[in-house]
Structure 1
Amino acid sequence: MDSDSRAVRRRSALLPALVAGVLVAAVFTASGIIRETYPFGSLSRSTNDLGTQYIPFFAHLWDILHGRAQGDLLFNFQSAFGVGFLADYGVDLGSPLSLLVGLFPRDQIDLAVYVITVLKLSLAAAAMAVLLLKMHKGPRWVAAILAASYGVCGWALDDGSYVPMWLDGLIALPMFFLVAEWSLRRTNRLLSVLVVAVFWVSNFYTAYMATIAAGIFLLARVLTSDLSWLLRLRVVVRHGISSVLGLALAAPILLPVLTANDAATPSPSGVFKASRIDLFLSRLLPLSEGVGRTASLYVGTVALLLALTMPFNRFVPLRTKVVWVVTTVLLTLSFRWAPTQEMWHGFDTPNGSQYREAFVLCGVIVVLGWLAVAYGLPGPIAVLCGGALLAVIAVLSIGSPLLTRHAMTVLIASGAVTMVAFGTIWAVRRSAALRRHKWPVVVAFAVLMVVVAVETTWTAVVTDEERAKVLSATEGPWDAAQTKRHDTVAAAQDWPQFRTEPGTSITPNDPMLLGGQGAGLYSSLLPYTLNQTLTDLGFGWSGYGRASHTLDNPVTDAIFAVGARLQLRASGPTITRSVAPPLVTVRRNLGLTDTSSAYAAQERLLGTKVYEIPDYKGTRFATGEVKLVGACTPGTTAFLNLPRVNGRARLADGIWHELSATRRPGINTNSAMVQLGTVPKSGVVLIEVNFGDAPQGIPPKGAVGCLDRQALAKAVRRLRASGATDVEAGGHSIRATLPPGSKGYAVVSVPRVSGWQCSAGDGKAQNPRDYGGLVAVPLTGNADRIACTFIPPGLRRGLAIGAASAALTLGIVLFGWWWRRRVRS
């Protein structure tokens, strides 16, 4: 094909891609206006993790881009007292579109995420339009209609719209199919590698699914081509090389992600059970909703009806029919069989939505719809046969509770209009008298586009309404109250002289959302060792240990150098301050080793005994209530640590404090240590624990501790006197100047996660010691300073692999260019 022909093909795809993208944006926007969700109304869009995880991550990225974050792309000093960030960036923010957040004001983070979401949906539709026209010439307006149907498919509306990172997979699928097309046509070697790399960086999870789907797509295309078997093999090898090189090019992000995933706090795998056939088929129809319960397969009645006509269209070659029908059937069955379902999810069945790969089948259905018209518009018999299959699906789905009130009405109306429209187009093109008039065909296509727009908008509204009943919005968008909290934290903080704890009152990711440096972090990559450290110290968590929460405790505040804490009161957000040791302290030795209770574990890291840990006796009453009785020094502060207990507790007749451990299944939420109050003059510690309707056991010792605040103040003064005289924190490094003659260990109040390298004085950088989960640097000779740097595990190896891939790709491209010139000459 010469350059002029290629230019014409590109121009022919541009308008359908633009129309599809605009139509998708219009549908998604209109559904929000009708529902009155943000930014068009008061209803929050922050379903499930959107508000608690993704928006705070986008806020942190905004801070990094504007130079306001404590940390950089490699490390995050703000969350969980300090964790790596590159892997989280790769999982949640890897898409180049995420960088657009920096163009918005920080208090419009929710709007930025919404705009990015709409843009991803539109780009997915545009990419599908380009793919369809690349596969085979055909009516451009049908390509636009089918592509728009893909952009607002059921998976996009029901699963992807509140998980922005998954939408990268919606774009990746048609782009990876394009890579397969380029392999088939032996073009765009460099672009193929770059496309694979970009989308594996954007979101490796959905890119993995799209990569498998692209392999299936390529096999179908190869089998339906007229190439010899040798050339077919060369096409497959070429595609494999492009995919491997693209994966290798993504290694600087991908390897740190995979390494962090291996070290992350595990969550229990789900148990897959195929949904009933009526439920499964009903998700193909409009106005159906069942997020997490079955696959979201809706692509619109027009696209579905066209796909069903493909086997009966006499213009479609027989081999194409057989290969694509078999491919689609086998692909569908893979959603129904546990082993193949596990394969789609990387052999780790999720405990949430179990059909996260459904966008793959949505894309294949759209491809079938295109094949049904690309070779020639289906005639009346093909349309009627397709309509009959659609009727069978509808009949089998009638009993599904996932179909909402008007689903069948919309299906019948859309199906009838679609059949009439294609019948009209067929009749016009068959009639010599009518063929001269273009307006009937134009009107028919316009009617089809209106059908798609109205039906998908209605489905989007119903989907959002029904999903909200199952997965309610967790948080509202940024408002004046959040601005006030953010400004209060910003005015109080003085990092790295001390930490300012913003708490976890809005989300577990408040340190990223509001600023400051605290214990909170909600991430699927939260290190397991960090979870153990915080649990041992009495911190609470949720999400199976992947969402750490703040702990308002003076001892842990001293351990982690928390000098200011945000408190929410009736009068508004206020800051309470305390005298805290520096971020780096010096210990003659690592001292206490007892970790038999959370109190002992805190004392170990503090370096001083400050708790009384009394014996106690428990009495269980018929009401389900338990009373614990022990004795402590009057005036001390009583604490209770029951991490595996759900209910509430109080000291004598004091205020009730909530205990939040739950089991759904296993332990989903862990209760934090609670401060109950001051021990009375009698010295009797009487604690009431109410389990409600679920009586639970209490450990025989170690649950109660009484804090001597004078002893704590003395310990803090000692740590301040011997601690670092100056601390500097870079993006992923810490440097501290120590008092002259310091000996023993410099303890850095940062979790000891893999990736840290520390040196003392002029010594060689090496792995630091692990001191109860914190970084400890041995001080040798006359070292009066330490320096620690964090490099994400896997980054160096990933950079080497990525560089090798780049060099190899460039070499292959240059060799191909040289070889073609030689052949021509």
Structure 2
Amino acid sequence: MDGGAEQDPRRSALLPALVAGVLVAAVFAASGFIRGTFPFGSLSRSTNDLGTQYIPFFAHLCDVLHGRAQGDLLFNWQSAFGVGFLADYGVDLGSPLSLLVGLFPRDQIDLAVYVITVLKLSLAAAAMAVLLLKMSPGPRWVAAILGASYGVCGWAIDDGAYVPMWLDGLIALPMFFLVAEWSLRRTNRLLSVLVVAVFWVSNFYTAYMATIAAGLYLIARVLTSDLTWWLRLRGVVRHGIAFVLGIALAGPILLPIFAANDDATPSPSGIFTPSPVDIFLSRLLPLSEGVGRTASLYVGTAALLLALTLPFNKFVPIRTKLVWIVTTAAIALSFRWTPTQEMWHGFDTPNGSQYREAFVLCGVLIVVAWISVAARVPGPLALLGGGALLAVIAVLSDGSPLLTDHAMTVLIASGAVTIAALGTIWVVRRFAAGRRVKWPIAAAFAVVMAVVAVETTWTAVVTDEERAKLLSSSVPPWNQHQTERSEAIQGANAWPQYRADPGTSVTPNDPMLLGGQGAGLYSSLLPYSVNQTLTGLGFGWTGYGRASDDLEHPVTDAIFSIGARMHLEAGGKETITRSQVPPLVTVRRRLGATAASNAFVAQERLLGTQVYEVPEYRGSKSITGGDVKLVGRCTPGTTAFLHQPRVSGAARLTDGEQWHELTASRRPGINTNSEMVRLGTVPASGVVSAEIKFSGSPSGITATGALGCLDEQRLAKAVRMLRLSGATDVEVGGHSISATLPPGTQGYAVIAVPKLPGWKCSAGGGKAQTPRDYGGLVAVQLTGNADRIDCTYTPPGLRRGLALGAVAAAITLGLVLFGRLRRSRR
């Protein structure tokens, strides 16, 4: 129990890994129980992107696995009127653990994500415990304690717990360090490549950070190794080959992600400003919180204390001390210099959390702690030296606004108890030489483990509480209301005869969460062309254009074949409205220009008929409730709409009762865009008087094209004509669509699906070609007597990725067989 070399290192690592994983699960569950968050209470865990993005994506994956989704792993018919899904899968759901969502009932999607999150935290802790014992033999219970400290480090709880895809990087870091160990020992060549491939598929973003860290780890291990320089060089080469082949093996996922990222809606880069030293250091301490603002570096007082004993531990060789002190300091300083901080994020400073790489330093601190304790538990001088450094950090951090109540009390108590327990172990071992004294040592280790459990649980509670205040937006877990909404939209669903739109009232990803098909999609990979198409038609968006909102509008409903739509009334009651719309595939005799001066003209171009009056108007200062009044003239009885995409505030018809929200903002840059709003019926006088009040600075009013008056009768006639000439039958596969057209049809078949790279279409069984772009939609030219079209979507980069992966697999297999052949000849 008190450590030392073991006869079977692999077997010896099993128990510490299990203890570390179980302890982490217990801490995370206990913190949720104390806070009263799901699944232990009524408070939602789904803060920020967890509720609005990741849980809907997990729900869609569950539907794909069970064959309930409209789409497959390559394409998503439900969101943004039809977009690729493979890249989103690779970014958000690539971990093999994500497939566990298929084992849970659909209405337990929040529980599924919670369980997957706990498993990732536990696996990270277990992997770290295994790594430590692989590095060098040492006290197994210390390995378990340090593994647990890593699994619930500040970054894991503060940054990763509500972004579950990042937690794959938390597991990848110790696994990549293991790859470095295998490379130096010239073992597990195939396993090394597979480990790299799995985690680059799971989440390439954090795997990239872990890969850089693994390189630094390897350099440190090479510099402190006793191997000959030739063997060290061979280890470095093996390590590089493992990562090159592993990343190449992940090509079928990575290349589509990179292609999708190139086509995605851009967002402004963040501006990095290093936090003051006192605030930076305070994040090493318990009960500190600063999600997104500072680096979450907390690893527990016990682990930090052990790491700080390294400079004073006489049992650690001086070269090892210097290498690891310099490595740790260099990584910490890299978080504070803009060029290196950008390097950690792929040279693109994020506009959200700016220290997403903090788990790297957490892992290195754990490794340093192990190096100090592995050979022998630090003696009194080392413990006092580490305690003194810890006191210096506490003094420098004093006054940091990120330290919550009782932080210093917990630090002092944990540090004192840990020093006393480790000192007890040192005393027992020193004065009981030659005698087997187990129970005092076991009790001391148990005390340290209890300190870690209590402190990390308390810190997790405080962290979650403070984060919930800072990131106040959250989505409630699946409940009876969600079930009723899902059942309502499924009851109205007749895909692909028409779309049944659930709206975006719960999340921007309601089509995936609740079912149906609509405009809603929140994804960092939302294609820019889709954003431009929808924006041009009057749709709104948030998140710098990465979250498209629904638009309730009769013209866009006709364009996109939305025949059923769900509305939420007061009290959460859902109602379904239905309308006659053209089929998903319509026919145009010719394709005219689709460039438009305003959203009303853009809608008419895609509809193929003029249905609006777009009047000239004059503006003046309002005296009846708004700030500005726009006045124009339209035919009485038509329906007035306002499109002011860059205005933040509200609008109404003069003397109207209801204000309609305009949601544009600039925090920073253009963060949200206002959708087109329905003002009401044009009065008998024909005067359209629209009032606008601003919620911020009065800006964004356009000189022309803000008002449009819709003739409902013209729209109804246009819909009838499109229904008569459109497809008689539409069939949709996972990533394909086919349509049968009336005999003798000529011109172009227009599919109400965004025109994206990857579509190939044929008419009448002819050769598949890239379709035309008609105002952002897919258009297929009908040649001869073609009365059928067939289109298939292939994610850009997939074929090249498959080829790259196949080459990497062949090379890997060849290297493995060659190595076995050489060994067999010896």
| TM-score for the superposition, normalised by structure 2 | 0.98
Q: d(CA) in 2 for partners of 1:291 and 1:575? A: 40
Structure 2 residue aligned with 1:649:
651
CA contact (8 A) 2:62 2:101 kept: yes
Task: Tell me if 1:138 matches 2:149.
Answer: no
Q: d(CA) in 2 for partners of 1:125 and 1:667? A: 41
Aligned CA distance change for structure 1 residues 220 and 798 (closer, same or farther; 3 Å): same
Structure 2 residue aligned with 1:630:
632
Cα deviation, residue 11, structure 1: 1.0
Cα deviation, residue 621, structure 1: 4.5
Q: d(CA) in 2 for partners of 1:609 and 1:23? A: 67
Structure 1 residue aligned with 2:824:
821
CA contact (8 A) 1:428 1:434 kept: no
Any stretches of 5+ residues in structure 1 without a counterpart?
Answer: none
Q: d(CA) in 2 for partners of 1:593 and 1:555? A: 16
Q: d(CA) in 2 for partners of 1:10 and 1:768? A: 57
CA contact (8 A) 1:624 1:693 kept: no
Cα deviation, residue 594, structure 1: 4.8
Structure 1 residue aligned with 2:805:
802
Secondary structure of 2:309's partner? helix
Task: Tell me if 1:390 matches 2:390.
Answer: yes
Cα deviation, residue 652, structure 1: 1.9
Letter in 1 for 2:603: Q
Secondary structure of 1:649's partner? strand
Which is further off, 809-818 or 432-441? Answer: 432-441
Secondary structure of 2:8's partner? helix
Structure-to-structure mapping, 1:325-404, within 5 angstroms? 325-404=325-404
Deviations 1:77-119 (A, max 9, x none): 0000000000000000000000001111100100000000000
Q: d(CA) in 1 for partners of 2:689 and 2:431? A: 94
Deviations 1:365-390 (A, max 9, x none): 00001001111111100110010000
Q: d(CA) in 2 for partners of 1:624 and 1:398? A: 50
CA contact (8 A) 2:649 2:696 kept: no
Secondary structure of 1:474's partner? coil
Q: Kindly report the root-mean-square deviation, in angstroms, between the aligned alpha carbons of the 2 structures.
A: 1.2
Letter in 2 for 1:744: G
Structure-to-structure mapping, 1:43-82, within 5 angstroms? 43-82=43-82
Deviations 1:613-657 (A, max 9, x none): 001111024887111111101110000000011010001222110
CA contact (8 A) 1:27 1:457 kept: yes
Q: d(CA) in 2 for partners of 1:111 and 1:205? A: 25
Structure 1 residue aligned with 2:276:
276
Deviations 1:728-747 (A, max 9, x none): 00000000001111111000
Q: d(CA) in 1 for partners of 2:156 and 2:537? A: 42
CA contact (8 A) 2:64 2:71 kept: yes
Q: d(CA) in 2 for partners of 1:112 and 1:577? A: 34
Q: d(CA) in 2 for partners of 1:568 and 1:705? A: 26
Deviations 1:256-289 (A, max 9, x none): 0111011100110001110000000000000001
Q: d(CA) in 2 for partners of 1:198 and 1:20? A: 22
Structure 2 residue aligned with 1:499:
499
Structure 1 residue aligned with 2:668:
665
Aligned length: 819
Structure 1 residue aligned with 2:775:
772
Letter in 1 for 2:118: V
Letter in 1 for 2:585: V
Structure 1 residue aligned with 2:559:
559
CA contact (8 A) 2:611 2:710 kept: yes
Structure 2 residue aligned with 1:616:
617
Q: d(CA) in 2 for partners of 1:550 and 1:7? A: 63
Q: d(CA) in 2 for partners of 1:64 and 1:501? A: 19
Which is further off, 468-477 or 305-314? Answer: 468-477
Structure-to-structure mapping, 1:521-536, within 5 angstroms? 521-536=521-536
Cα deviation, residue 432, structure 1: 2.9
Q: d(CA) in 2 for partners of 1:136 and 1:161? A: 31
Q: d(CA) in 1 for partners of 2:759 and 2:692? A: 42
Q: d(CA) in 2 for partners of 1:357 and 1:297? A: 10
Structure 2 residue aligned with 1:31:
31
Secondary structure of 2:576's partner? strand
Secondary structure of 1:633's partner? coil
Secondary structure of 1:70's partner? coil
Structure 2 residue aligned with 1:512:
512
Structure 1 residue aligned with 2:121:
121
Q: d(CA) in 1 for partners of 2:330 and 2:684? A: 75
User: In structure 2, which of residues 705, 708, 732 is the aligned counterpart of residue 705 of structure 1?
Assistant: 708
Letter in 1 for 2:417: V
Aligned CA distance change for structure 1 residues 643 and 708 (closer, same or farther; 3 Å): same
Structure-to-structure mapping, 1:7-22, within 5 angstroms? 8-22=8-22
Letter in 2 for 1:271: I
Letter in 1 for 2:115: V
Secondary structure of 1:770's partner? strand
Structure 2 residue aligned with 1:179:
179
Letter in 1 for 2:166: W
Aligned CA distance change for structure 1 residues 7 and 685 (closer, same or farther; 3 Å): farther
Letter in 1 for 2:27: V
Aligned CA distance change for structure 1 residues 594 and 441 (closer, same or farther; 3 Å): closer
Cα deviation, residue 762, structure 1: 2.0
Which is further off, 621-630 or 210-219? Answer: 621-630
CA contact (8 A) 2:27 2:456 kept: yes
Structure 2 residue aligned with 1:602:
603
Secondary structure of 1:216's partner? helix
CA contact (8 A) 2:60 2:512 kept: yes
Structure 2 residue aligned with 1:105:
105
Q: d(CA) in 2 for partners of 1:176 and 1:698? A: 54
Cα deviation, residue 468, structure 1: 1.1
Cα deviation, residue 593, structure 1: 3.6
Query: What is the percent sequence identity of the aligned residues?
Result: 78
CA contact (8 A) 2:622 2:691 kept: no
Cα deviation, residue 592, structure 1: 5.1
Q: d(CA) in 1 for partners of 2:696 and 2:216? A: 52
Q: d(CA) in 2 for partners of 1:598 and 1:590? A: 18
Q: d(CA) in 1 for partners of 2:433 and 2:825? A: 54
Secondary structure of 1:670's partner? coil
Aligned CA distance change for structure 1 residues 286 and 593 (closer, same or farther; 3 Å): closer
CA contact (8 A) 2:648 2:696 kept: no
| TM-score for the superposition, normalised by structure 1 | 0.98
User: In structure 2, which of residues 754, 757, 760 is the aligned counterpart of residue 757 of structure 1?
Assistant: 760
CA contact (8 A) 1:592 1:607 kept: no
Letter in 2 for 1:641: H
Q: d(CA) in 2 for partners of 1:275 and 1:592? A: 52
Letter in 1 for 2:406: H
Structure-to-structure mapping, 1:432-471, within 5 angstroms? 432=432, 435-471=435-471
Q: d(CA) in 2 for partners of 1:455 and 1:687? A: 59
Secondary structure of 2:795's partner? coil
Q: d(CA) in 1 for partners of 2:44 and 2:315? A: 49
Cα deviation, residue 230, structure 1: 2.1
Aligned CA distance change for structure 1 residues 7 and 583 (closer, same or farther; 3 Å): farther
Letter in 1 for 2:103: L
Q: d(CA) in 2 for partners of 1:190 and 1:233? A: 19
Letter in 2 for 1:151: G
Cα deviation, residue 433, structure 1: 6.8
Which is further off, 137-146 or 564-573? Answer: 564-573
Task: Tell me if 1:256 matches 2:252.
Answer: no
CA contact (8 A) 1:301 1:411 kept: yes
Task: Tell me if 1:679 matches 2:679.
Answer: no
CA contact (8 A) 2:184 2:231 kept: no
Letter in 1 for 2:223: L
Structure 2 residue aligned with 1:577:
578
Secondary structure of 1:475's partner? coil
Structure 2 residue aligned with 1:307:
307
CA contact (8 A) 1:636 1:707 kept: yes
Structure 1 residue aligned with 2:642:
640
Any stretches of 5+ residues in structure 2 without a counterpart?
Answer: none
Deviations 1:517-556 (A, max 9, x none): 0000000000001000000000000000000000000000
